Amino acid sequence: MTLGQRIRELRQARKLTQRQLAGMAGIDFTYLSKIENDRLEHMPSLQTIRDLARDLGADELELMDLANKVPPVLEAIARDKDALRFFRRATETVKSPEGWRDLLDYLERKNPNAQSPSERRKPGSNEGKPGGPAEGGGERT
């Protein structure tokens, strides 16, 4: 399914005309028509996608994913309903840096063998640094 197809589907389910939705989202109805018919040279801006998601009661990450606007590091999360549910719940619940540290501590206690990528690098290791093993550097014999 394309972004345009999904927006049309959501709009029709809410019994909105293109003019009505365009007015709500602050865009021209002809632009919305081009989005829905996949006739744009470039995908809409993130702000336009967010506005359309808001006005359609849709998941903005779903629309961003359809528009290929999700950063690669977040793609797996955006496509996994349980991961999305977890992160949404966490952001609704956690309100401070200490809260995020507490959540991380809890998760690490639940699975003590799991490590983040930054923890996998050994302190003092030259791996990944200029001249380190990744670049053929290091000690010469």
pLDDT per position as a tens digit, 71-127: 888 888 888 989 989 988 998 999 999 999 999 999 999 888 876 555 544 455 444
| Rg of the chain over all Cα atoms, to the nearest angstrom | 22
Burial of residue 136 (CB within 10 Å: 0-12, 13-18, 19+) is: exposed
| Helix (H) and strand (E) counts in the chain | 9, 0
Instruction: For residues 28 and 44, state if they share a domain.
Output: yes
**Does the pTM exceed 0.75?**
no
Mean pLDDT within 35-54: 96
Instruction: For residues 94 and 71, state if they share a domain.
Output: no
pLDDT per position as a tens digit, 126-137: 444 444 444 444
CATH number of the CATH domain containing 54: 1.10.260.40
* Count of domains for the chain: 2
Domain that holds residue 10: 3-77
